[in-house]
Amino acid sequence: MNAPIRDRWVLHVDLDQFIAAVEVLRDPDLRGRPLVVGGRGDPTERGVVATASYEAREFGVGSGMPLRVAARKLRDVPDAVFLPSDAETYTTASNAVMDTLRNLDAVVQVLGWDEAFLGVSAVDPEKFARSVQAAVLDATNLHCSVGIGDNTLRAKIATGFGKPRGTFRLTADNWFEVMGDRDTSALWGIGTKTARKLAALHVHTVRELADADDEALAAALGPTTGPWLRRLGLGIGRTEVDPEPYVAHGHGRETTFQQNLTDQVEVEAAVRVLAERVAHDVRAENRPAVRVTVKVRYAPFETHTMSAPLPEPTLDTRAIAVEAVALTGRLDHDRAVRLLGVRLDMTPPDDTTAH
């Protein structure tokens, strides 16, 4: 008997070098040049790379890298360009892409500015993927890559093999052929820290993770995390795409200072300003804040957080700021501060009773 033909697929659509591509659309003279976007566009200032064009990546520049490091890598590249981030423009471009995807015969789950899952029915998923690429390009002049999978995990990972402007299929049929000998950090959901923990257990590859003992992983990494990591090694993920919009659990603001703060009064003032900004974000959703967290990054680059519940759920800006400033009492006042952040966790969407 012939095997049944699969017709339910998960596609992962990922816009190629999205932010850089949007900037090139605004200024075609940037095409082909090493382009770095981040901060205020000044590589002499503190800030991080939001995106780097493929040409910049050839010199080792990557997202999340300090702008000053990126500048050093491009020091001998005369046509390199640094630009400031423009969130409003990127949001507008992203919305156009997502609207295009929603007009297709698919269930759409938006993951961020530049990526989304599609749940589709198709006998030929590659043909459908190419139609997605054509629709996005026609509507926005932006290129995308499409990963094809039998679940969200495999579709997400597949996209990386299709970049740029291509497609790739990753399913149970070729999972270990493609992924088996790769490092565990190649899995969506496993970062360098977790990969190091797994390596300490002599688990280095995806196949070794899939073959690992659940009880041993649970004992070393936690009763929930351990078995979950093994499922990642097996390539197990969600088979259904959730079209419901993401609902934020909270909001946060942070700022990196061009000059380190060394005075406690300055630190308190900066936290107060951040808290007031986040309180405004929370008030816009009419979801009272229930917990405040202060993030600090000491010079040169050591990060800590401290958190406390608010006395009661509130939308009151002053009350929120008072509690945030109170947390600065836990800081090491003898250390210079290069970054501060404030985050507020909110009540669930169906609980909007403010006090």
The CA distance from 57 to 268, in Å, is: 39
The reply to whether 115 belongs to the active site is yes
Q: Give, in order, the Cα–Cα distances in Å from 165 to each of 144, 271, 276.
A: 5, 43, 43
3-state secondary structure the chain: CCCCCCCEEEEEEEECCHHHHHHHHHCHHHCCCCEEECCCCCCCCCCECCEECHHHHCCCCCCCCEHHHHHHHCCCCCCCEEECCCHHHHHHHHHHHHHHHHCCCCEEEEEECCEEEEEEECCCHHHHHHHHHHHHHHHHCCCEEEEEECCHHHHHHHHHHHCCCCEEEECCCCHHHHHCCCEHHHCCCCCHHHHHHHHHCCCCEHHHHHHCCHHHHHHHHCCCHHHHHHHHHHCCCCCCCCCCCCCCCEEEEEEEEEEEECCHHHHHHHHHHHHHHHHHHHHHHCCCEEEEEEEEEECCCEEEEEEEEEEEEECCHHHHHHHHHHHHHHCCCCCCEEEEEEEEEECCCCCCCCC
The one catalytic residue in 115, 177, 244, 276 is 115
Question: Hey, which residues are catalytic here?
Answer: 115
